[in-house]
């Protein structure tokens, strides 16, 4: 089911298969301007039956029928307002299509070999980390990915191999992601692959960086405000003992949350489920709309955990311990000098 999104500044039709963000930031999938619109204000996602809208902890809220709402289903033509009744109006219309979607692969015109990758910055003076995801990498016959400066998509992360993967045009006119025997793997939608065709909307993850594959190239998948964490109908049992029951919550991007309770209340069990260390008996943990436990191989690289108990080798100095960890985690091609520089 497609979704028509219409506002005073334009309109677009989106397909199911990936979430879409609405906001005033240029990195949002659908850019809507307005003084009361947050940089990443709203997310739209299809659950298999209907479209849902989720407010991303926006500053001024999302309003439906005069009331502030956090999450709601889109089952018919509705109008919502970003930032209040006098905010930006967005009209959402689910489109029921009579004919089935063709399974024929999308044919793309061959890209000229001389067409070089173009990177256009969309935000100025925004600090980049391992991967400047505020830029777009334009599609070409081969996009080289890795830590080395010679790559088209350079990711300065020591968990990424020097020449890690490639996006290459295949014989049918589509594109494949090819892993180049990297140390830590290449992922499509959270699943590790050796070689697989990429479809429009797929998420490609290398090390700690993720981009969405579009008809134009590789784009940032989310706004720079970060992602949210959602628990849906979470249950966890060990034998006949139920430790977690019907847990539901939404943690907004860049928020700080404390889990408080007496001994035995299930705090550690819940934290283990949120970080992927244990799999719930029922329910889901969604990080930026992605199922943590189905895509753990990729998402685990984006989760930091400081445990209660020390995990250091107490007979080693701090420098020795860090060097030891670096030797285990970084690719075998990483030089001793690179490891030492990161430790310092």
**3-state SS, residue 79:** strand
pLDDT for the residue 234: 92
pLDDT digits (tens, 9 = 90+) for 188-231: 988 899 999 998 888 899 988 888 888 778 887 655 456 788 89
Residue 137 token pair: 């990498």
pLDDT digits (tens, 9 = 90+) for 284-301: 999 888 889 888 887 887
Residue 73 token pair: 């289903």
Residue 248 token pair: 């539901």
Q: Which region, left, alpha or beta, applies to residue 213 given φ > 0 means left and ψ of -120 to 50 means alpha?
A: beta
Q: Which runs of E-coded beta strand occur in 25-75? A: 30-31, 42-46, 51-55, 62-64, 67-69, 71-74
Q: What is the pTM of this model?
A: 0.43
pLDDT for the residue 96: 65
pLDDT digits (tens, 9 = 90+) for 245-275: 999 988 877 778 899 999 888 898 999 999 9
Per-residue pLDDT band for 302 (boundaries 50, 70, 90) equals confident
Q: CB atoms < 10 A from the CB of 281, how many?
A: 15
Tell me the C-alpha to C-alpha distance, in Å, between residue 236 and each of 28, 30, 262, 269, 308.
Answer: 35, 37, 18, 8, 22
């Amino acid at each position: 089911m497609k979704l028509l999104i219409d506002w005073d500044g334009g309109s677009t039709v989106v397909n199911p298969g990936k979430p879409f963000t609405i906001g005033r930031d240029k990195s949002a999938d659908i850019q809507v301007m307005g003084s009361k619109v947050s940089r990443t204000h709203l997310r739209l996602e299809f659950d298999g039956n209907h479209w849902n809208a989720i407010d991303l902890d926006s500053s001024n809220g999302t309003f439906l029928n005069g009331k502030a709402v956090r999450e709601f289903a889109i089952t018919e033509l509705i109008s919502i307002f970003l930032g209040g009744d006098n905010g930006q109006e967005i009209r959402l219309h689910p489109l029921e299509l009579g004919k089935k979607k063709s399974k024929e692969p999308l044919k793309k015109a061959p890209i000229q070999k001389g067409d070089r990758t173009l990177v256009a910055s969309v935000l100025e003076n925004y600090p980049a980390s391992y991967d400047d995801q505020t830029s777009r990498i334009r599609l070409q016959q081969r996009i080289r990915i890795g830590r080395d400066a010679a790559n088209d998509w350079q990711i300065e992360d020591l968990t990424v191999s020097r020449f890690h993967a490639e996006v290459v045009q295949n014989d049918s006119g589509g594109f494949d992601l090819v892993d180049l025997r990297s140390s830590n793997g290449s992922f499509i939608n959270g699943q590790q692959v050796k070689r697989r065709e990429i479809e429009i909307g797929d998420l490609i993850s290398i090390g700690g960086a993720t981009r969405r594959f579009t008809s134009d190239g590789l784009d940032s998948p989310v706004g720079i405000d970060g992602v949210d964490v959602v628990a849906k109908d979470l249950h966890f049992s060990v034998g006949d003992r139920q430790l977690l029951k019907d847990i539901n919550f939404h943690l907004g991007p860049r928020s700080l949350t404390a889990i408080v309770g007496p001994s035995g209340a299930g705090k550690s069990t819940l934290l283990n489920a949120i970080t992927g260390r244990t799999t719930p008996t029922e329910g889901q943990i969604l990080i930026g709309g992605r199922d943590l436990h189905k895509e753990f191989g990729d998402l685990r690289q984006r989760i930091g955990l400081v445990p209660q108990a020390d995990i250091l080798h107490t007979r080693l100095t701090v420098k020795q311990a860090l060097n030891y960890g670096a030797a285990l985690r970084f690719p075998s091609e990483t030089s001793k000098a690179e490891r030492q520089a990161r430790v310092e």
